Structure 1
Amino acid sequence: MLISQICSNCVMDTTDSQILFDENGICDHCNTYYSKTLPSWDTGEKGVQDLQKVINKIKLDGTGKDFDCIIGMSGGIDSSYLVYVAKEKLGLRPLVFHVDAGWNSQIAVNNIERIVDNLKLDLYTEVIDWEEMKDLQLSYFKAGVPHIDTPQDHAFFATMYNFASKYNVKYILTGANYSTECVRNPIEWMYYQSDVIQLKDIHSKFGTKSLKKYPLTSILWHKLYLPYIKGIKVLKPLNNVPYIKTEAMQLLQEKFGWQPYPQKHFESRFTKFYESYWLPMKFGYDVRKVQYSSLILTGQMTRDEALQKLKTLPYDELTIHQDFEFIANKLSISVKELQTYFDAPNKTYKDYASQENIYKIGSRLFKFLGIEKAGKR
């Protein structure tokens, strides 16, 4: 994919087909961050005080219970650091919640165990039915869309929300944050993972099994019903405390023997393959541009450093054939069949039924009400 323009401030470029540039060559991802996100983001005294008020309420509501909140943990840097902050800095009693969709790397498993054991926390693991997961995963490959990681992400969200609803857990803490994620992936790169209409449409066209056990969620259920009817709140504590990625990684390594990953989201072997190879090589979308741009805007990386890193391939040339074979074998297909999906014509989320209009309306409403402040999407 030909790059005709790159932002003069970050490293986002016209591989995002909806990107806009001002007269100084600065993109709308940057301008949205400076005008919307930064003015309302406080990790200083006020931010900590605001967070403490919520923490006090969580502790009060959790009196007499085995745990006062749940934290979804993948073993990645954001969720791992959040678990540490919640227990050691905020004094919470979280239930650590992990969803095993069949793609965990051994490093991720080790990281989760080390932190949970050292902090003496309880770990609840939900294992997704592999045969259904595999069938849905193959459906997305056959559909030809970029967002083939949706089955895994949807399962994560749905399982945690279902658990919270079933057991009347009022607080879910997530590692989502502005510090490393203030620039969002363009919607054409990664369509909304919670769109159950699209998931069902793709599966109905390409799947071979009924999804009897696979967990489902929907935008209306978890954005409206759960918070406003059931009173379940999703909180992002890392937005209220200083969070520098390199410092957090060093702390986790020193305290728990936590092992770093080559890139964000690589705790999943599928996500590693998808983000480092499938997405950039088939569609021309390199998520490192989003990740590095976030770090540039928050002062954790220079633009020159990012440009230098982007000169290298996003995947390991020496091991990509092994990764390709691993994915094929795990999905019970041949390498040749997986290659046919790679070579097939590219499709987009617009080629299938969706709830895109609901997401657009909801996003505008939440931004107007000040509920949502992070980047453009």
Structure 2
Amino acid sequence: MTQPSSLRHQVCKVTVMDTTDPDITFDENGVCNYVHEFRDFSERRPDPETRDAELKRIIGNIKAHGSKRTYDCLLGVSGGVDSSYLACKLHEWGLRPLIVHFDNGWNSELAVKNIEELVTRLNLDLETFVVDWEAFRDLQAAYFRASVVDIEIPTDHMIFAALNQIAVRHNIQVLISGHNTDTEWLLPKAWYFSKFDLRNLMDIDRQYGRSSLSKLPKLGVWQQFYYSHFRKIRMVQPLQYMEFNKARAKQFLIDEMGWCDYGGKHHESIFTRFYQGYVLPKKFGIDKRKAHLSNLILTGQITREDALRELQQPPYDEDQQDEDKTYVAKKLGFSQEEFEAMLNAPPRDHREFRTDARDREFYFAIARAYGSLRRLTGRTKRPDPFA
């Protein structure tokens, strides 16, 4: 893997990743670095039988640990495939999850319907966290003004902050995540930024925001330290231990849960649909479908030919794109002229704003010192039953 991506456009011979990723490299056969990295990852991954046994162990520990609690785990659900399918699996395994939906004001009607059908059919308890709209809208608007690539950070950051807050309130110590490598392993670093860099978020808000962050949940370095070390909250990713096939999961939900398809990945949110399908391609030259489809190619769920055919189509209906553009501008309080100017402004790097790099260095120093002290005193850390 010696040939860096050049100025000329080049597409991987195995996946559909190309030189719109500035960090991509190709070997002498035109195969990109992600193919080799995924093969290395797959070789290190335990076999299915070992993963299945580990999953059963973890499920047993969650049940035992939460046996005297109202809920033994918490699952955030968006109405999309991954989280909806995972809710079904938790029910099948006999777990007692609290289902939480983060309402940031951008839910599609289909997402709401999917969630309602899911919790009704599975007889699960649902709690909806409704974010302070005025404060959240202002933060989203600040990210547009800042002209940075990852304008999904306010949502992604605050979803997990809210989940931790709710977990504390209900005395739940296990958060269930739908993240999985079968569909989400590949995402170029240049296409996103750290979701939990609170200093970066606050600096963007300080320079371009007009409201107060005090009304919004936060999850920076020290909040993470509090939740993980003092409240002992752990994240568990069950889909990592399974062979997760997106198409089969989707069909199961349609057949068994009355689930309605909303189109592309994460299009259950109007904002995310517009961001991934319009803003990223038009402003930043990024088509996230290339990463999503390449991941499915690597895991054998689709062919490269199928992926190339899909990429010949627009990310989503172009009339709907125009409607979304008008809707998003109005909902965020921009005139059409203002919004157009921001969409056409030169991109800026997140690192032009403050970051939490020093906080993280300090955190890891404390963690190392804490570990050394426990070893010296003979108080070694007990194994994490959910790891």
Same fold (TM over 0.5): yes
- Higher mean C-alpha deviation, range 262-271 or range 306-315: 306-315
What is the identity, as a one-letter code, of the residue corresponding to 1:275? Q
**Given that residues 70 and 173 in structure 1 are in contact (C-alpha distance below 8 angstroms), is that contact kept between their aligned partners in structure 2?**
yes
- The residue number in structure 2 matching 1:288 is 289
Q: Which has the higher contact order (CA 8 A, sep 6+)?
A: 1
- The residue number in structure 2 matching 1:65 is 69
- The residue number in structure 2 matching 1:153 is 156
* Mapped partners of 2:128, 2:230: distance in 1: 27
Q: Secondary structure at the match of 1:324?
A: helix
- The residue number in structure 1 matching 2:373 is none
Q: 1:109 to 1:277 in 2, by over 3 A?
A: same
1:3: Cα distance to partner? 5.6
Q: 1:237 to 1:362 in 2, by over 3 A?
A: farther
Q: 1:127 to 1:85 in 2, by over 3 A?
A: same
- The residue number in structure 1 matching 2:216 is 214
1:294: Cα distance to partner? 0.6
Q: Secondary structure at the match of 1:124?
A: strand
Q: 1:8 to 1:248 in 2, by over 3 A?
A: same
Q: 1:66 to 1:204 in 2, by over 3 A?
A: same
* Mapped partners of 1:264, 1:306: distance in 2: 14
Find out whether 1:143 has 2:174 as its counterpart: no
1:90-126 deviation digits (Å, cap 9, x = unpaired): 1101000111011111100000010111000000111
Q: Secondary structure at the match of 1:6?
A: coil
Q: 1:180 to 1:3 in 2, by over 3 A?
A: farther
Q: 1:3 to 1:247 in 2, by over 3 A?
A: farther
Find out whether 1:80 has 2:84 as its counterpart: yes
- The residue number in structure 2 matching 1:194 is 196
What is the identity, as a one-letter code, of the residue corresponding to 1:39? R
- The residue number in structure 2 matching 1:24 is 29
Structure 2: 5+ residue stretches without partners: 1-5, 368-383
- The residue number in structure 2 matching 1:255 is 256
* Mapped partners of 2:13, 2:223: distance in 1: 40
1:64-107 deviation digits (Å, cap 9, x = unpaired): 2211100011111000000001111x110100011101111110
- Higher mean C-alpha deviation, range 119-128 or range 15-24: 15-24
**Given that residues 221 and 363 in structure 2 are in contact (C-alpha distance below 8 angstroms), is that contact kept between their aligned partners in structure 1?**
no
* Mapped partners of 1:357, 1:182: distance in 2: 28
- The residue number in structure 1 matching 2:266 is 265
Q: 1:230 to 1:117 in 2, by over 3 A?
A: same
Query: What is the percent sequence identity of the aligned residues?
Result: 40
1:158: Cα distance to partner? 1.0
- The residue number in structure 1 matching 2:12 is 7
Q: Secondary structure at the match of 1:227?
A: helix
Structure 1: 5+ residue stretches without partners: 366-370, 372-377
* Mapped partners of 2:50, 2:362: distance in 1: 31
Q: 1:338 to 1:40 in 2, by over 3 A?
A: same
Q: 1:248 to 1:360 in 2, by over 3 A?
A: farther
* Mapped partners of 2:42, 2:230: distance in 1: 28
- The residue number in structure 2 matching 1:374 is none
Aligned residue pair count:
361
Q: Secondary structure at the match of 1:102?
A: coil
- Equivalent positions of 1:278-357 (< 5 A) are 278-355=279-356
- The residue number in structure 1 matching 2:233 is 232
* Mapped partners of 2:363, 2:324: distance in 1: 38
Q: 1:361 to 1:247 in 2, by over 3 A?
A: farther
1:27: Cα distance to partner? 1.8
What is the identity, as a one-letter code, of the residue corresponding to 1:13? D
1:220: Cα distance to partner? 5.1
Q: Secondary structure at the match of 1:148?
A: coil
What is the identity, as a one-letter code, of the residue corresponding to 1:110? K
- The residue number in structure 2 matching 1:122 is 125
What is the identity, as a one-letter code, of the residue corresponding to 2:262? Y
- The residue number in structure 2 matching 1:51 is 55
1:230: Cα distance to partner? 3.1
- Higher mean C-alpha deviation, range 6-15 or range 281-290: 6-15
- The residue number in structure 1 matching 2:103 is 100
Q: Secondary structure at the match of 1:24?
A: coil
* Mapped partners of 1:325, 1:94: distance in 2: 38
